[in-house]
Structure 1
Amino acid sequence: GFTLNDLVTYNDKHNEANGEDNKDGSDHDRSWNCGVEGPTDDPEINALRERQIKNMLATLILSQGVPMMLAGDEFGRTQQGNNNAYCQDSDISWLNWNVEEKGETLIAFVQNLTRLRSEHSALRSRRFFTGDVDENGNRDLTWLSAGGGEMSQEEWDGDAKCFGMHINVPQNEENGEEEGRDDMLLIINGYHDLVVFSLPDAPDGRRWMRLVDTNLTLDEEVPFDGGTDYDVTGRSVLLFTAR
Structure 2
Amino acid sequence: MTDSSRHTAVATEEESPADDLRPPGNPSPLGARFDGKGTNFSIFSRSATAVELILFDGPEPHDSFRRIELIEREGPVWHVYVPGVGPGQLYGYRVDGPYRPLEGHRFNRHKLLLDPYTRTIGRPATWHPALYGYDIASGADDTSFSELDSAPYAPLGCVGDDVFDWHEEAEGVNAFEQSRPRIPWEETIIYETHVRGLTMRHPDVPERLRGTYLGACSGPVIEHLKRLGVTTVQFQPVHAKHSERRLVEHGLVNYWGYNPLSYFAPEPTYAADPVDAVREFKTMVRTFHAVGIEVVLDVVYNHTAEGNRLGPTLSFRGIDNASYYKEQPNGKRFLLDFTGTGNTLDAGNPFVLQLIMDSLRYWVIEMHVDGFRFDLASALARELYA
* Structure 1 length-normalised TM: 0.27
From the CA coordinates, give the structure whose radius of gyration is larger. 2
